[in-house]
Amino acid sequence: MERLQVEELEPNRLMSLAGLKGWLIPVGLILVLVSNVIALMLPFLDIDVVLKGHSEYKLPESVKLMWEMKLYWVSILIVVFSIVFPLAKTIALIVTWFLKVPPLLRRRFILLLESLGKWSMLDIFVVILLMVLSNNQIFLSTKPRAGLIFFIFAIIGNMVMSRIMEVVDGRLYPKVEQEETEEKDFIPLGSTGGIGWAMPLLLIVSFVSIIVAVDVPFLKINDILLRSHSYSVVEATGALWTESRYVLAAFLIFFVGVMPLIRILYIGWIWFNRGSGTLHERRFDQVRVMGEWSMMSVFLLALVMILTEGGELVRTQLKNGLWAILASTMVCVISLWIARFLLRRAILAARKQAS
């Protein structure tokens, strides 16, 4: 019913529907776009290596350098996720705000852009890992530059603005979300069959896997010119904190550790709490939003890039923490998929009984 109702609506503009306050959204998007362009023009990081000299880590120049060093995958990933996509996403959101399009198509497009936004953080995690590897070293040192701050502001701002646009778009069509019917409240734990009773155990496994993933070292410096040290997410956060990189330390632990834990805890809360099908759908939509700010998978990709292609700067050795991060990512994805599947089935069953 929802799909038919939305498709029947005529194409329209969010700009016209949102009113005068709606102009704050394109203004915010333009600020994000300007910050992104400035970030591409300014250096991200200064790198000083004994016997190799000083170099600036600037996105466009670093891509060219990595391509010349035959680090093709790194170059392609940085171009796609850190240069092309953030700019394209911001421009697309601006155009979507003013363009006259069918509501269903617009909503799907905004949700798609919103779901892909976290992958623009890839280059930030690469820079953070380089700074961690250079911590307390004599022959290697790094220093963050203004471009990194502008880029963090641009990417987070981009994610926030896409979320605001999605909320505004949804609130403009409150009558098409679901017909008002009398729904029976239920608790997912007792309404999803035998597998539903196993869900708490799976969530506990997911929770423990995240704690292990952030606590077990994922790499070890194995360079004759550098002090040998192993790093986990927790230790990397501590290294950044001791170097007074408070923003980057908070950035790392929040997106890689805290948000994944919060999402698992919230799914567990949903599983034990009573509510109507519509309420449970809204709760799981909040889980989706949390997933866009849970970035263990993005950190994993950045870590793989450093381990496989970063030998030109620092020689590192793989540790078990990498497999722990991979396993935790997979377990959390599986847990979320099963929970969503079981909940949807329970909602359909409850609505069928109500009708």
**Average pLDDT in the chain:** 83
Q: Which two tokens stand for residue 110?
A: 């905004």
310 — pLDDT class (breaks 50, 70, 90): low
Question: Which domain range does residue 212 map to?
Answer: 188-355
Of 165, 167, 159, nearest to 15 (Cα)? 165
Q: Are 270 and 262 a contacting pair, CB within 8 Å?
A: no
Of 136, 152, 174, which residue is a domain's last?
A: 174
pLDDT at 65: 66
pLDDT at 48: 72
69 — pLDDT class (breaks 50, 70, 90): low
Q: Which two tokens stand for residue 157?
A: 């701002």
Q: What's the CA gap between 106 and 18, in Å, rounded?
A: 15
127-152: per-residue pLDDT in tens?
888 888 777 666 667 788 888 899 99
Same domain, 219 and 323: yes
Report the DSSP beta bridge partners of residue 141: 48
223 — pLDDT class (breaks 50, 70, 90): low
For the full predicted model, state whether its pTM sits above 0.75: yes
Same domain, 196 and 281: yes
Q: Are 133 and 314 a contacting pair, CB within 8 Å?
A: yes
Q: Are 287 and 270 a contacting pair, CB within 8 Å?
A: yes
Instruction: Summarize the confidence of residues 316-338 as an average pLDDT.
Output: 90
Same domain, 17 and 139: yes
Secondary structure of 191-219 as H, E, C letters:
HCHHHHHHHHHHHHHHHHHHHHHHHCCCE
Same domain, 166 and 192: no
Please say if the pLDDT value at position 299 is more than 60. yes
Same domain, 197 and 113: no
CATH number of the domain encompassing residue 294: 1.20.140
Q: Are 26 and 97 a contacting pair, CB within 8 Å?
A: yes
Of 174, 197, 217, which residue is a domain's last?
A: 174
Instruction: Summarize the confidence of residues 191-195 as an average pLDDT.
Output: 82
118-129: per-residue pLDDT in tens?
998 988 898 888
Of 152, 174, 196, which residue is a domain's last?
A: 174
How many structural domains does the chain have? 2
- Phi and psi, residue 53, nearest 5°: 90, -165
Please say if the pLDDT value at position 94 is more than 70. yes
pLDDT at 308: 75
pLDDT at 178: 46
- For residue 179, is it within any domain? no
Same domain, 120 and 225: no
